[in-house]
Amino acid sequence: MTEFEGTMRPLTAADLLQVIDIDENNTGRSRKGFFEKRVAAALKEPKRYVFIAYENDGAVQGYLLARLQKGEFGGENTVAVVDDIGVSSAAQGKGIGRHLMAELKSILQKKDIHEIRSQADWNDQNILHFFAASGFELAPRYIYERDVAYMDREVIEEDDEPFEVDFSDSSGDDSMALSRDRVPCRSLKEDDLAALIKIDGKIMGYDRTSYYERKMKEIMQESGIRVSLVAELDDHVVGFVMARVDFGEFGQTEPSAIIDTLGVDPAYAHKHVGSALLSQLMANLTVLRTDRVRTEVGAKQLALQGFLQNNGFGTAQSLSLTMAI
């Protein structure tokens, strides 16, 4: 085994340019905006992030970016999500990535966190091999995606079972335009928080206020482009989709939209609420020239999987990964 030299330490804002350079040299694309947003968010709420730098000979030669989440997928436990890991080309082959992951495990154990998650493209054999060698396994979740384009047919509505995602040619859009007319949609506002928590409570059966407070702050303050929506009927919010346009998460080099959460008040099932939200979201993303939208769904969320499949989503060529620590 190659002898490990250098130092593991917290990554700071002063390291940002070196991290951007390492990533650009490895991928051939600049993800400057992604790294700048992540560092800015970590400076505001350092307890939500674990950023690690590997330094040798006075320079950063590797890094790992992870964020801490609680409440996603209905879970009560905090998990760490690895957004990105990189090693400079000159330092590759020395086990630095393995040591970065070991350092993350050590930090998380001290925080009493027992799971790490990430995603990887099926075609990226190098990163898949790295994750497998590090102890990751396939997670019981699927990544769904679809092209961002106007839906050219009526969206098949929700099943009788309430669902929620914890993550959705204008000439052919007449039926969906009608759906949006039936159920007005507008941009999410901060004072919608109470309505979202109430709807979520009906769906999940318990309170996730802290999760939605964090998610609202992320959507409203950290996202560069706001695309989240609420649907209204009878003068109140009856559904919502929390989404963001991201560039760089999980090594992605093309901008894509990510649906974090989609919920419909069970009292308004079969009222075309899900149809209207998805239709309006797709219309907005088309204007923003975002090509794809992605979300992650639990393996047991069969009603939700059917809803997505019936509305143009298919399984992505990406894998959801997990590791217990």
pLDDT tens column, 163-197: 444 433 333 344 444 455 589 999 999 999 999 99
Distance CA 13, CA 193 (A): 31
C-alpha closest to that of 103 among 3, 9, 2 = 9
C-alpha closest to that of 228 among 206, 197, 250, 196 = 196
Angle CA 46–87–7, to nearest 5: 65
Distance CA 241, CA 223 (A): 15
C-alpha closest to that of 300 among 161, 135, 196, 200 = 161
Do 103 and 58 form a contact (C-beta atoms < 8 A)? no
Tokens encoding 177: 């335009």
Q: Quick one: pLDDT at residue 153? A: 45
Task: Give the strand order in the sheet containing 78-87.
Answer: 7-10, 49-56, 59-70, 78-87, 115-121, 318-324, 137-138
Distance CA 78, CA 34 (A): 23
Percentage of the chain modeled with pLDDT above 70:
83
Do 241 and 60 form a contact (C-beta atoms < 8 A)? no
CA distances to 198, 210, 221 from 206, in Å: 10, 12, 26
Tokens encoding 264: 């419909």
Q: Where in the chain is the domain with CATH 3.40.630.30?
A: 7-113, 142-317
What does the pLDDT profile of the chain (325 residues) look like in tens digits? Answer: 455 689 999 999 999 999 999 999 998 888 888 898 888 888 888 999 999 999 999 999 999 999 998 876 556 789 999 999 999 999 999 999 999 999 999 999 999 999 999 999 999 999 999 999 999 999 999 999 998 875 544 444 444 444 444 433 333 344 444 455 589 999 999 999 999 999 999 998 888 898 899 888 888 766 667 899 999 999 999 999 999 886 555 445 466 788 988 999 999 988 889 889 998 999 888 888 888 899 999 999 898 898 889 888 999 999 999 999 9
Query: Would you state the CATH architecture of domain 142-317?
Result: 3-Layer(aba) Sandwich (3.40)
Q: What is the model's pTM?
A: 0.81
7-113 maps to CATH 3.40.50.300:
no
